Amino acid sequence: MRIVLTGAAGFLGSHLSERFLDEGHTVVGVDNFITGSRDNIALLQEREGFEFHLHDVSTPLFLSGPVDGILHFASPASPVDYLEYPIQTLKVGSLGTHNMLGLAREKGARFLLASTSEVYGDPAIHPQPETYWGNVNPVGPRGVYDEAKRFAEAMTSAYRSHHGLDTRIVRIFNTYGPRMRPGDGRVVSNFIVQALRGESLTLYGDGSQTRSFCYVSDLVEGIYRLFHSDCPGPVNLGNPVEFTVRELAEEILRQVVPTEAESDLKSGVENASRLRRLPLPEDDPKVRQPDITLARRELGWEPVVDLHEGLTRTIPWFRKQVNESDARARPLT
């Protein structure tokens, strides 16, 4: 198959591109590098069957030749990014989705939309099934991302019902792993980088808010299965095992600075040099846990990598990034 993947230089997009290449497909990667990494594209361009287009999909994309599938992953996806690029986030969720749906219709291609658990907002139902409509503040600081994805889902559903387009929608919950940007503002990357640099880990609120952390290889497997399935979705993909943010911080400390952290945690002392509290951001969800009943039934999918193992695979990648960054920042003598 010839696959178009927008956001190919991003964290998830680069891993997905690799998976499709590994399976023998041709991948046309599209990115404008607003948050994607040129290093990720350099890795992909070494692969046979990969071609790249530098393009902002908020404007129409014209491609010659057949296209069998389009996976639309282009979007700023972390709070740091969509708060810095609010208009671009709204445009790629609306105009970008419209343009890629139009390309899919022109080519007769299957279309998969990367949506998000953020469509559930600060949920009043826990865990969150796909039938839950969500609790989103459209004019709050997170609304630019949440509503962009909600609109993208509505547009995708309209193309399916009105034009008969073959579509899929995946709602992605917190995912982590190698190739996350060290400064992307997500809780896993924040905590790992702070721990590696010997800084205090920043807890917002009392750290009791919960998240469910899915390792990237598990998520990619689920998306690949969804793309090749007959299930239009939306389908939740994420790890249903729930952790408090404080528990995540403690696990990262155990792996990065095991002796000192274990001593602090066993004594029950919250060392000020280890955990630092700040006010909870506006509209920050208190809980987040996917109900993956549909994914289990329709895709035969569930995560296999637990948090401890996933962090063990992820921390060395961040250590390399931090060491290289710190080396570049040191003055020449």
Q: What is the mean pLDDT of residues 97-103?
A: 98
* pLDDT at residue 269 tops 60: no
**Backbone dihedral region for residue 24 (phi beyond 0: left; psi -120 to 50: alpha; all else: beta):** left
64 band by pLDDT with thresholds 50, 70 and 90: very high
* pLDDT at residue 86 tops 80: yes
Helices 245-256 and 187-196, packing angle to 10 deg:
30
Q: What pLDDT does residue 275 have?
A: 81
List, in order, residues 6 or more apart from 286 with CB less than 8 Å away.
Answer: 122, 209, 210
Helix/strand/coil percent split, the chain, to 5: 45, 15, 40
Q: What pLDDT does residue 266 have?
A: 53
pLDDT (tens digit per residue) in 276-289 = 777 777 767 788 89
Q: Please give the Cα distance from 135 to 121 (Å, whole number).
A: 5
pLDDT (tens digit per residue) in 182-238 = 888 899 999 999 999 999 998 887 888 889 999 999 999 999 999 999 999 999 999
CA 40 to each of CA 7, 17, 293, 326: distance values in angstroms, whole numbers, following the listed order: 11, 10, 33, 20
177 band by pLDDT with thresholds 50, 70 and 90: very high
List, in order, residues 6 or more apart from 33 with CB less than 8 Å away.
Answer: 9, 54
pLDDT (tens digit per residue) in 111-156 = 999 999 999 999 999 999 999 999 999 998 889 999 999 999 999 9
Domain boundaries, the chain: 2-175+215-239+289-304
Q: Please give the Cα distance from 26 to 320 (Å, whole number).
A: 30
What is the separation, in whole angstroms, between the first and last Cα of the chain? Answer: 53
Q: What pLDDT does residue 260 have?
A: 52
Query: Average model confidence (pLDDT) for the chain?
Result: 92
299 band by pLDDT with thresholds 50, 70 and 90: very high
Q: What pLDDT does residue 277 have?
A: 79
Query: What are residue 290's phi and psi, to 5 degrees?
Result: -80, 140
Which of 82, 85, 120, 145 is the catalytic position?
145
Residue matched to tokens 């994914």:
295
Q: Is the pTM of this model over 0.85?
A: yes
What is the DSSP secondary structure assignment for residue 120, as one 8-state letter? G
Structure tokens at 6: 């927008």
Q: What pLDDT does residue 174 have?
A: 94
What count of other Cβ atoms lies within 10 Å of the Cβ of residue 58?
Answer: 20
pLDDT (tens digit per residue) in 245-260 = 999 999 999 999 875 5
Name the nearest CA neighbour of 112 among 151, 166, 68, 168: 168
8 band by pLDDT with thresholds 50, 70 and 90: very high
Asked whether the beta carbons of 48 and 26 are under 8 A apart, the reply is: no
Give the whole-number percent of the chain exceeding pLDDT 90: 79
Q: What pLDDT does residue 265 have?
A: 52
Asked whether the beta carbons of 168 and 233 are under 8 A apart, the reply is: yes
Q: What is the mean pLDDT of residues 92-96?
A: 98
Q: What pLDDT does residue 198 have?
A: 92
Asked whether the beta carbons of 170 and 112 are under 8 A apart, the reply is: yes
Structure tokens at 293: 């009943």
Q: Identify the CATH assignment for 2-175+215-239+289-304 out of 3.30.70.260, 3.90.79.10, 3.40.50.720, 3.20.20.20.
A: 3.40.50.720
Q: Please give the Cα distance from 312 to 307 (Å, whole number).
A: 8
The reply to whether 82 belongs to the active site is no
Q: What pLDDT does residue 264 have?
A: 53
Q: What pLDDT does residue 175 have?
A: 97
Q: Please compute, for residue 112, the number of CA atoms within 13 A of its CA located in the half-sphere on the CB side.
A: 27
Q: What pLDDT does residue 270 have?
A: 46
